[in-house]
Structures are given as structure tokens and as C-alpha cells.
Amino acid sequence: MRNLRNALLVGTALLSLNPIAAGAAGPVTPAAPSAHEQELEARLKLLEAAVTDLRAELNATHAQAQNTAQIVDARAPLNDKINTRVAALEVKASKPAPDGFNVGGVNVKVYGFLKTNLIFSHYDSGIVQQNPASPTLIKDFYLPQQIPVGGGRSSTDFTADAKQTRLGATLGSTIGKHVIKGLVEFDFQTSQGVQASQRTTNGYNLALRRGYIQFDNLLVGQEWTNFQNVATLPETTDFVGPTEGTVFVRQAQVRYTQPLGHGLSIAASIENAATATVTPTSATLSENDADKIPDVTARINYSSKFAELSIAGLVRQLSYDNGLAGAAQLSAKGTGWGVSFAGKIPLPFGVNSDLRFMATKGSGIGRYLGLNYAADAVQISTPNASLNTVDVFAAFAALKFGLTSKLRSTVMISYQKDDYNTVVPGTVNNKAVSYAGNLFYSPVKNLDFGIEYRHGERDLLNGTQGQLDRFEFASKYNF
């Protein structure tokens, strides 16, 4: 544009030197142009040509700019789609892949493990036989009430099975502001049915472990008792581990959990009731299904990076009724109570090392501890029917050492002591204690190999004792 303006000024100046262009008066005879005039005219033509070239260049520039704008406008929707797609892919990539699969708007996830145990046991006071119609559970896992007592010959036993293999599924969906969950879980260890012979197929029945639905904070169904803090159970090759020292019950219940903030929550439940009794003349446990009201529990939980702690309380009514009428009728009631304190505390050494513990004190709560090692109460028939509760104290502690990311070890001790407060047979269980140590190796994710040694002792009220020493190997693939 500046070159065009300069050219026009020069042209104007040249025209002002021409008398005809300036409007001189009278006729003028044209004269031959001088050399100077010819030179100016040549320069004028050059300037006019330059102006024409500049106009052509300017028009081409305007056309190119217009085409570029049209291309940008045409590509804008495509660019928007590409950007939207890229953003969606980035969001999807930032989220973890969903577990399970979807069925009718319900997310279903299958989980469990395949587990095989090889068990070498030494009993110092007898031989443990396996009867398929009535399995002797101590051959499968540590159960102190089945340790043979009384001296006599000792015995060594080997058994192998995959009964602890577990299969479960979780379900979940969101409807409006509500969250609905469900869980069902089975294994082959807890079946009470007839077992297949070890000589042939070694088949075992599938048995329900847990099965419940949860609507927001309300849980209804079969689950671990609210009186128990399952998270404190130590890692072990055994089915339970510190059996005599831990609360261990799964049963139907209605539970409500309320978060309180700052890592605190409280849960309360009503649960299935059952009363286990012995008599002054028989140490055999009897299960009485004459309960009128459910067992009631409450538990306060605290969770932080420093510790996971809980304190739980239990109140229950014990009931007995012989089912007869008139003068032959015998019925009685009693009250049971219990308090349990449990925790898991991370330790500042090793890889994921921690201390786990549980201590429980109460009366009339025998069935909640050690898989019913002791009775809830002693059933008295004369002179008046009554239930005298059995006092109990149980505890365990377990120390886990994370040696490397793939190697870890746990040592544990477990104990229970029972006081009957009345005359009972000397053959009732009075005390149990065990010590154990293990080593676990995980060569890859979800695969565990473990070896464990356990020593257990059982004492009867009359002083008779029995001991068990056991080496156990376990392999487990989690999914």
C-alpha cells in the first residue's frame, strides 16, 4: 500500500508539469517531446505497471485469506469432534478397568480361591479316625476340643484335601441416591452333610458361608457376627488359626452401620440365637433351640493410618426347654454378656508388618468363642430348673513380619480359660492354648505358598491333657 501511494504522488506531480493537463488557455500546437519529457513518460509507465502488479498481489492476498478462513470454518466441527473423543478417551484411561460384568444393570464380580492343604499331625494321646458320615474336623483344621486327651499311645497322621476352596460373588447397583449390594459365598469345608470316601472320589458338599443383601447402611442376611472383628484374624495356612482365642461365628442377622466421621463408625445388630449347654452329669454339648429373643450386639470401629481398633458388646438371653408338659416340663432362662476388644496396628519395619490382637471376656457366650470350645451354661434340673452361665476369657496375638515384597512370616499365640461356677463333670473343657509360626511366599501376584508349624494343648477340668503338633503346607490361588 505504501508503494501504491508513492506511485500516485509521483504521477500527480508529473501531470502538474504538463500545460495541457494543467488547463492552459488558447490553442496550443503540440510540439515534439523533448528528451526530458520522454524520460518522464517512460518513468510514468513503469510506475503504472508497478501499481497494477501491486493491485494484483493485493487481490491474491485477499483471496487466499478468504479461502483459509473457509477451510478453518469447515474443519471446526471435525476438530470439535476429535477433541471431544480425545477427552473421553483420556477420562476412560484415567479410570480403573471395571471388575466383573453387568447383568440387567447389576455389576457382578466373581471371587474366591483354590486352596490345597497337606497336613502332618502328631497326637500324643490317641488316634484320630475319620468317619465320612461324621467327619472329625481336627484332621482338616485346628480344633482344640477334638485333641485326644488322657495319655495312652501316640499317633501320627497325614491328610490332604482341597475342602477350603472358596467361591463367591458380589453384586451391586445404584438406584437414584441408594446403593444396593449383595454377596453370596460358599466353600466345601463347612458342609455338615455326609462326605465322600477318601478311597475314591474325595467329593465334598458345597456349603453356604455368607449370603446377604445391603441397602445403603442396612444389612440383612447371613454374615460374620457383629461381635467379631474379622480384619484382625492373622494370615495362616489353617482354616481359622488362633481358634481358641478368637470370636468366630457366621449367622443370620439384621445390622445397621452409621458412620460418625473422623474414622469412627458404630454398628448394631440383632442376630440368630442358640444356647449350648452341658449338665452336671454329662460333658456333651447340647444345642437348645428354645430361644425367644435374638442376640443383640453393638460395635464401635476406629480406622486411621495408625491403627484399626474396635470394641464390641454382646447381650443375650439363654433358654432351655425340654419340650414336655405338665409336671415333666423343664424350662429355664439366663443372661449372657460379653465384651471384645480387637485391633490391627501397622509396624514401622519390614514390608506391611503389623500386630493383630483380640481379647474377649464374658459369661454365657461360649458358642461365640473357639468354635464353641466351652458351653454357654450348665443346665440344672433339680431342685429347680436353672441355667448357670459359664465365665470365659479368650485372647490371641499375632505378629506379622514383612521380610520382602514376596516373603512374609507370622507368629501367633492363642488362649482360652473357662470357669463353670457349679458342679460339672471333670471331662468338660477347661483350658486351651496354642502357638504357631509360618512362612508365606508369593512368587507372583495372587499365588501363595505357605508352611506352618503349630503346637496345641487341651486341658480338661479334671487335669487330663492332650497335645497336638502339626506341620502344614498350603497352596492358594486367589481370583
State yes or no: pLDDT of 110 exceeds 60.
yes
Look up cell 454329662; give the residue: 282
The pLDDT score that the predictor gives to residue 463 is 96
Give the H or E element holding residue 9.
helix 2-16
Q: Any idea which of 9-18, 127-136, 147-156, 420-429 has the lowest mean pLDDT?
A: 9-18
* Rounded CA separation 296/226 (Å): 9
pTM for the full predicted model: 0.78
The pLDDT score that the predictor gives to residue 326 is 81
The answer to whether position 297 is within a domain reads yes
Give the H or E element holding residue 51.
helix 35-94
* Rounded CA separation 136/148 (Å): 11
Q: Same domain, yes or no, for 373 and 286? A: yes
The answer to whether position 127 is within a domain reads yes
Q: Same domain, yes or no, for 150 and 84? A: no
The pLDDT score that the predictor gives to residue 212 is 98
Q: Same domain, yes or no, for 80 and 118? A: no
Q: Same domain, yes or no, for 284 and 358? A: yes
Cell of 420: 463353670
Res. 197 pLDDT band, cuts 50 70 90: confident
The answer to whether position 215 is within a domain reads no
Count: domains in the chain: 2
The answer to whether position 418 is within a domain reads yes
Q: Same domain, yes or no, for 370 and 289? A: yes
Mean pLDDT along residues 351-366: 97
State yes or no: pLDDT of 420 exceeds 80.
yes
Q: What is the CATH number of the domain that holds 312?
A: 2.40.160.10
Nearest Cα residue to 399 out of 410, 413, 389: 410
Find the domain containing 405 and state its range. 114-158+223-478
Q: Same domain, yes or no, for 407 and 464? A: yes
Q: Any idea which of 47-61, 152-166, 280-294, 339-353 has the lowest mean pLDDT?
A: 47-61
State yes or no: pLDDT of 65 exceeds 50.
yes
Q: Same domain, yes or no, for 89 and 146? A: no
The answer to whether position 47 is within a domain reads yes
Q: Same domain, yes or no, for 39 and 144? A: no
Q: Any idea which of 54-58, 119-123, 138-142, 330-334 has the lowest mean pLDDT?
A: 54-58
Average pLDDT value for the chain: 88
Q: Same domain, yes or no, for 271 and 397? A: yes
* Rounded CA separation 15/44 (Å): 10
State yes or no: pLDDT of 96 exceeds 80.
no
Res. 289 pLDDT band, cuts 50 70 90: confident
Q: Same domain, yes or no, for 7 and 120? A: no
pLDDT tens readout for residues 138-161:
999 999 999 999 988 999 999 999
Q: Same domain, yes or no, for 274 and 337? A: yes
Q: Same domain, yes or no, for 263 and 147? A: yes
* Rounded CA separation 219/208 (Å): 17
Res. 136 pLDDT band, cuts 50 70 90: confident
Question: Which residues, in sequence order, are CB contacts of 419 under 8 Å at separation 6+?
Answer: 390, 391, 392
The pLDDT score that the predictor gives to residue 88 is 66
**Quick count: other Cβ atoms within 10 Å of Cβ 422?**
13
State yes or no: pLDDT of 133 exceeds 50.
yes
Res. 95 pLDDT band, cuts 50 70 90: low
State yes or no: pLDDT of 281 exceeds 80.
yes
pLDDT tens readout for residues 3-19:
544 544 444 444 444 44
Look up cell 473357662; give the residue: 418
The answer to whether position 211 is within a domain reads no
Q: Give 194 or 421, the one with higher predicted confidence.
A: 421
The pLDDT score that the predictor gives to residue 438 is 98
The answer to whether position 360 is within a domain reads yes
Q: Give 199 or 372, the one with higher predicted confidence.
A: 372
Mean pLDDT along residues 379-383: 87
Let me know how long the chain is.
Answer: 479
State yes or no: pLDDT of 243 exceeds 70.
yes
Pick the last residue of a domain from 94, 125, 141. Answer: 94
The answer to whether position 214 is within a domain reads no
pLDDT tens readout for residues 266-279:
999 999 999 999 99
